[in-house]
Amino acid sequence: MGFGLFDGYHQKISNGRKTKTNESGKANTSYAQKGQGHITIARTLSISKNTVKGYIKKARAGDLSIEALLAMEDPVLEGKIWPGNPAYKDERYEHLKTQLEYYSKELKKVGVTRQLLWEEYKTGNPYPYSYGQFCWHLQQYLRSGKPSMVLDHKAGDKLFIDYAGKTLSYIDRDTGEEIKVQVFVACLPYSDYCFALAVPSQKLEDFIYAVGCCLKDLGGVPQTLIPDNLKSAVIKANPYEPELNRALEDFANHYGTSVTPARPRKPQDKGLVENQVKLIYSRVYAKLRKLTFFDLPSLNKAIAQKVREHNQTRMQQKDYCREEKFLADEKHTLQPLSETAFEIKYYREHKVAKNNHIYLGMDKHYYSVPYTYIGMKVKVVYTRLLVRIYHKVGLIATHPRNQKKAGYTIRKEHLCSHHQYYKELSPTYYLQRGYNHSEELYRYMEALFKQNKYSEQLYKTCDGILNLSRKTNRESFIKACGIALDHGQYSYRFLKQVLENRMTDYQEEQKVKSLPTHGNIRGASFYNK
């Protein structure tokens, strides 16, 4: 039994009464001081006589008296009798300890083993440690590490976010295929209240949806969200100023919170949610392993039930469960939820083409922009329902989102006057122009469009006829339309020839000739008989 092994209690007889002590060294030196033999001391304390000899030898070899040793507290006395492993005073250790930090870092690299490091260590070293001693000292250094700290969390302050490393799955009813899904896990560190949800992937849309469902389940918003450095949350990881995903920033602004990603490769920053993942494995995954699901909603319903049971399970060494702690002390500290649901916004920059449209590659669709911005760069912000186009800080166009490939969404006011005129062209447009001029022109254009010809093919004919109407006397033009209708000729060229040949004047000169006078007339008197 050594001084450092204080596992049992030993009886010490002093002044005719029994007392309990674990101070073997003090007892040995005390009995020795009274002149008792080694065997008597060993029998009294139930230890080996060689152990007694060792304590007395160490006490006499020191520079302190037995009285001084007996007056010391146990930790101080232990340091005097057992000053430490002499191996740490070895010159070989002085050389090795300067390299231990380097070896600990190298050991984390792929393919690097203790055997490889030991071979590198002994190369060029005349008095190296053996492989076993080398590994022992390295292991002691790795165990020492850095001390961990117990964090004091405030109610409603943080929400830790992570994905479980293992997936769940359901069976597609139609194909029989097994569909694997990711499991989103979050927890409030103050109450350790947990939330879990299965989503199709870790993509941005699914991540934002899962966080939104989590806040809805909590019934409020914490001061900050602490995600891992997954791509859906952080574009570029940095321990000081990480570059956040723009959609996650918009989400945080919408709900009046902030995003504080954990440091890269520092899982201890979110140790509570890491522990929740382990609990989810045992309290959700394990309990659902024998069940088969055929769609994602039914799987999530089962997950929610098991998570509810987990939150209602009494915590070890505490007289409450997570749900009780959350409802009593934390829920009322959360910020209220936004009245409107969040929609992901996507951002693009485009140059307005000569046809005053921008091309949205996501939809493969064209959206119009006021023609005055042709050739300028604009910012496009679009959601599931709307497309908004900005120039500098001004909103210049808004369109309903249209996912028709190679289609165009055009607003009339975005076009120049010439294009607006062209876009307005239609049979109705020309019929209205003819009606405004005269009944004859309206009838003529109506007959023109009733021909078995493509409508747009007749637009230029109509433009020519309207041009003639502006250059010709109104009455003559109306008469020309009448002549064309009488003869069933519906073309610009025919009207033009009628007017150029002054056929309208010839029609005016024609007079109805009276019948010649002759005797074959009965007269009114004939019918009176």
**What DSSP string runs through 298-322?**
HHHHHHHHHHHHHHTSBPTTSSSBH
Confidence of residue 6 (pLDDT cuts 50, 70, 90): very low
Instruction: With a cut of 90, say whether residue 299 has pLDDT above it.
Output: yes
Q: Specify the long-range contacts of residues 10-17, CB closer than 8 Å, at least 24 apart.
A: 10/45, 10/46, 10/47, 11/44, 11/45, 11/46, 12/44, 12/45, 13/44
Looking at residue 378, what is its pLDDT? Answer: 92
Question: Residue 375, CB half-sphere, CA atoms under 13 Å: how many?
Answer: 1
**What DSSP string runs through 67-106?**
HHHHHS-HHHHHHHH----GGGGSHHHHHHHTTHHHHHHH
Confidence of residue 184 (pLDDT cuts 50, 70, 90): very high
Which residue(s) pair with 160 in the sheet?
Answer: 187, 226
pLDDT-above-70 percentage for the chain: 78
**Positive or negative: CA dihedral 481, 486, 492, 495:** negative
- The tokens 């109407």 sit on which residue? 469
Q: Which of 423, 403, 312, 421 is nearest to 362 (CA)?
A: 403
Looking at residue 518, what is its pLDDT? Answer: 66
Q: Which of 153, 154, 217 is nearest to 185 (CA)?
A: 217
* Model pLDDT for residues 21-54, shown as the tens digit of each residue: 344 555 555 655 566 787 888 888 788 888 888 8
Determine the average pLDDT of the residues in 450-459: 68
Instruction: Note whether 80 and 66 are within 8 A (CB).
Output: no
Q: CA-CA distance, 385 to 392, in Å (whole number)?
A: 23
Determine the average pLDDT of the residues in 200-220: 89
Query: Across the chain, what does the average pLDDT equal?
Result: 78
Which residue(s) pair with 181 in the sheet?
Answer: 168
Looking at residue 248, what is its pLDDT? Answer: 82
Looking at residue 425, what is its pLDDT? Answer: 58
The H or E element that residue 181 is part of is: strand 178-188
Which is more confidently placed, 293 or 411?
293
Confidence of residue 84 (pLDDT cuts 50, 70, 90): low
- The tokens 């405030």 sit on which residue? 154
Displacement of CA 473 from its chain's centroid (Å): 72
Using a 10 angstrom Cβ sphere, with 0-12 exposed, 13-18 middle and 19 or more buried, the burial of residue 374 is middle
The H or E element that residue 367 is part of is: strand 365-368
* Model pLDDT for residues 335-367, shown as the tens digit of each residue: 998 888 888 888 889 888 887 888 888 788 889
Query: What's the DSSP call for residue 338?
Result: P
Determine the average pLDDT of the residues in 109-138: 88
Confidence of residue 8 (pLDDT cuts 50, 70, 90): very low
Please report, in angstroms and rounded to a whole number, the separation of the first and last CA atoms in the chain. Answer: 168
3-state secondary structure 447-502: HHHCCCCCHHHHHHHHHHHHHHHHHCCHHHHHHHHHHHHHHCCCCHHHHHHHHHCC
Q: Which of 363, 357, 361 is nearest to 397 (CA)?
A: 357
Tokens of 494: 């025919």
Q: CA-CA distance, 487 to 491, in Å (whole number)?
A: 11
Confidence of residue 65 (pLDDT cuts 50, 70, 90): confident
Confidence of residue 124 (pLDDT cuts 50, 70, 90): confident
